[in-house]
Copies of this chain bind each other. A is one copy, B any other.
Amino acid sequence: MKKLINGAENVVAEALAGMAAAHRDLIRVHFEPNYIVRADAPVRGKVGLVSGGGSGHEPMHGGFVGRGMLDAACPGAIFTSPTPDQMSEATKAVNGGAGVLLIVKNYTGDIMNFEMAAELAKEDGIEVRQVVIDDDVAVKDSLYTAGRRGVGATVLAEKICGGAAEEGADLERVAALCRAVNGAARSMGLALSACTVPQAGKPSFELADDEMEFGIGIHGEPGRKRMKLEKADHVAEMLMEPILADLPFRRGDEVLLFVNGMGATPLIELYIVYRAAQAIAEKHGLAVSRRLVGPFMTSLEMAGVSITLLRLDDAMRKAWDAPVVTPAMRWGA
């Protein structure tokens, strides 16, 4: 295992300390329980947005805390759900009196712990809603999930709900928008290499020099099939086809196209995939009006790519374009 760390047991705490030091204008980090809140939390009268999950997917979620996106993120240990007390403390810390939305990726541990956190928050008199993200069309159930996994749509939902909450939307409206984003988004990914969880010390799986794992999850859990590595244009087709068929997307739909890097894949390759994916979308009669290209939801140093396609409506587009000021996503303000 080759990593720039001091010890497997300190990875998350030291990375959080680094984030706190680097972004003290934007965020504050609370330790034990670990959570990140925007520097001006709680914002009076604004719906609070809380997400979280295992660490190792950076910049998701901590890099998305700030004005116009999340109010708090709860980082668990690497690839491990955060605990209910992290979530409930974060919820309390960002409660500005207008309620709090919990954005939960569909993994069994996350679901259970966010559920308990929601109960705790309700006992404290905080109005809470939960929306589960489950946009991955690759598999029906998997190692860590009953039902579809929550992947790339999470990033889009956090940005869009954050934009709406910042502009004064109420809790029901923000929760409805989150459900709408999840309902209109589909994703699929693949890996060219595995990643190594520091405390495990060895790669989570092995791939031959000419193989890729198609339909992979963000923890290295198996996908649809293991197959020979294909050219980028063919890879893009293989990802786009089940995405397009699933919603289904229809001619004339306006979409956001998100090409996400899993960690080690260079930007230059992501743009090659983006080029192919946009051409496929356009051949299907879709109008790609918004896009995102880069490593926003990673699996440590895994090489690979995922594609998320979101059918936009006016409310989503407006909230997507709204200003955002976070460590990892920042524009318009």
Contacts and interface: CB of A to CB of B under 8 A. Distances in A.
Contact of A303 (B2, B5, B274, B331): B2
B6 A274 contact: no
Interface string A1-23: 01111110001101111110110
A297 B333 CA distance: 25
A245 to B, nearest CB: 22
Q: Is the interface of A mostly helix, strand, loop or mixed?
A: mixed
A297 to B, nearest CB: 11
Interface in A279-333: 291, 293, 295, 298, 300-301, 303, 305, 325, 327, 330-333
B2 A58 contact: no
Contacts of A275: 14-15, 17-18, 21
A182 B278 CA distance: 39
Nearest to A17: B275
- Tallying the copies of this chain within the complex gives 2
A332 B332 CA distance: 6
Contact of A5 (B6, B231, B327): B231
B2 A268 contact: no
Contact of A271 (B18, B271, B272, B330): B18
Interface of A: 2-7, 11-12, 14-19, 21-22, 55-56, 58-59, 63, 192-193, 209-210, 212, 229, 231-233, 235, 263-275, 278, 291, 293, 295, 298, 300-301, 303, 305, 325, 327, 330-333
